[in-house]
Amino acid sequence: MDRRWGFLIGLLSAVWLLLRSGHDEPRPPETAAQRCFCQVSGYLDDCTCDVETIDKFNNYRLFPRLQKLLESDYFRYYKVNLKRPCPFWKDISQCGRRDCAVKPCQSDEVPDGIKSASYKYSEEGNNLIEECEQAERLGAVDESLSEETQKAVLQWTKHDDSSDNFCEADDIQSPDAEYVDLLLNPERYTGYKGPDAWRIWNVIYEENCFKPQTIKRPLNPLASSQGKSEENTFYSWLEGLCVEKRAFYRLISGLHASINVHLSARYLLQDTWLEQIWGHNVTEFQQRFDGILTEGEGPRRLKNLYFLYLIELKALSKVVPFFERPDFQLFTGNKVQDADNKMLLLEILHEIKSFPLHFDENSFFAGDKKEANKLKEEFRLHFRNISRIMDCVGCFKCRLWGKLQTQGLGTALKILFSEKLIANMPESGPSYEFQLTRQEIVSLFNAFGRISTSVKELENFRNLLQNVR
């Protein structure tokens, strides 16, 4: 008996020493990739979709075809007014760096079909809208137009003033509005930063995002994070909001994260009188998303980027019937290319529709009808205000892409809240209840293209950071 007890005690001692030695042995330091991406996996909050499914779907099935579509004439030319005054303050410091400048198109560079179209999508429609615009300039509907055309004019005017719009649209008929070739004015790091950039994001977060009155911590991630307590970290207060207000913050945070990914991926690495070299700046990416450097919030921001991806993806799946209508064209005047591009567009949309884990937007505004409508209006007005803030951005290239991406997201929200109108559209002929302007279409797909590019770039940064400590 004593011999057995002695054997057992010796065995337990050996196990204890083995466990202790393993505990004391120092662990290898985390890689930079682990610090940025270890939490960016699995299921997203308020969603049934996981990050890995999005990565696989976007990077290998959607991204290449979407980029090809966005390089076409219909989607590369965007009309924008970059000279609209800031409606909130007057002391705007204009960025003097050459990379902040936007080069507008010369008149002969834009296809005639695009220049003549604002609302409609066919040659017949373009001729019609020109007549309508002339009638508006005369201050009344021209009686020489057919009864159907007069009705269309009134309906389109009503559409423009619709309360379903989530963005304040540019006055593209203004002499200050110009066409910009998005391929020649890519979104990338321009050096625009400091107090002016901080002010823009601070107004967006602090004055337009929803948050409990009891929370004193600034929402703006650019604000100083010193002295934050555990109770005030990102999700502890966010979880106290209703799903719609949580979603609003995640959309803005996701848009901010996406923009920061673009700036880090297309960073000016070398600038000489001979050439400029643009590429991935790993250090810049770490400063914005490293879990340690951002006190745990960087990975959360990246997850919000995926949330934004799901929202815009779902909007595109909802609007398929609008683009399937036989009288819809991506009209530029080149019939062969227009037909090919519509075919590619529908292929992309049907691919998007096949995505297995779409976001369920039915949880939005699903409570008491009166309260739901009130909340929806608050949601719309907050986002509309953010679209106006884009006119206060001091860097013109940043302003261009800020206006485009907020209009694109606003169009996605408009689609999500117009499901019944889309379902009731006629199979052909004018659609009076639901319309998308060419501006909305171009911004919708280019904005989603930016989010899709961000998701693809995360794969690139993950690979670049694998061996960085």
Number of separate domains in the chain: 1
On whether residue 130 sits in a domain, the answer given is: no
pLDDT (0 to 100) of residue 296: 83
Residues of the chain below pLDDT 50: 1, 17, 21, 23-24, 119, 122-145, 153, 157-161, 224-232, 234
Strands (E), 248-317: 267-271, 276-279
Flag whether 65 is marked binding. Answer: no
Which DSSP string corresponds to 176-203? T-EEEETTTS--------SHHHHHHHHH
Flag whether 190 is marked binding. Answer: yes
pLDDT (0 to 100) of residue 316: 97
Flag whether 3 is marked binding. Answer: no
Q: What are the percentages of helix, strand and coil residues in the chain, rounded to 5? A: 60, 5, 40
Q: Which residues are catalytic?
A: 395, 398
438-464 helix and 63-70 helix, angle to the nearest 10 degrees? 130
Residues 419 and 248: their CA atoms lie apart, in Å, by 19
Instruction: Please check whether residue 109 is in contact with residue 212, taking contact to mean a CB–CB distance below 8 angstroms.
Output: no
Flag whether 256 is marked binding. Answer: yes
Q: Tokens at residue 44, please?
A: 């997203």
Q: Can you give the pTM of this predicted structure?
A: 0.83
On whether residue 236 sits in a domain, the answer given is: yes
On whether residue 380 sits in a domain, the answer given is: yes
On whether residue 19 sits in a domain, the answer given is: no
Q: Kindly report, residue by residue over 47-77, the tens digit of the pLDDT.
A: 778 899 999 999 999 999 999 999 999 999 9
Flag whether 217 is marked binding. Answer: no
Query: DSSP state, 50?
Result: B
On whether residue 337 sits in a domain, the answer given is: yes
On whether residue 15 sits in a domain, the answer given is: no
On whether residue 317 sits in a domain, the answer given is: yes
pLDDT (0 to 100) of residue 140: 44
On whether residue 359 sits in a domain, the answer given is: yes
**Cβ neighbourhood burial of 415 (10 Å; 0-12, 13-18, 19+):** buried
Terminal Cα-to-Cα distance of the chain (whole angstroms):
55
Dihedral, CA of residue 189, residue 194, residue 195 and residue 196, to nearest 10 = -20
Q: What range does the domain containing 61 cover?
A: 32-115+146-467
**Cβ neighbourhood burial of 241 (10 Å; 0-12, 13-18, 19+):** middle
pLDDT (0 to 100) of residue 248: 87
pLDDT (0 to 100) of residue 275: 87
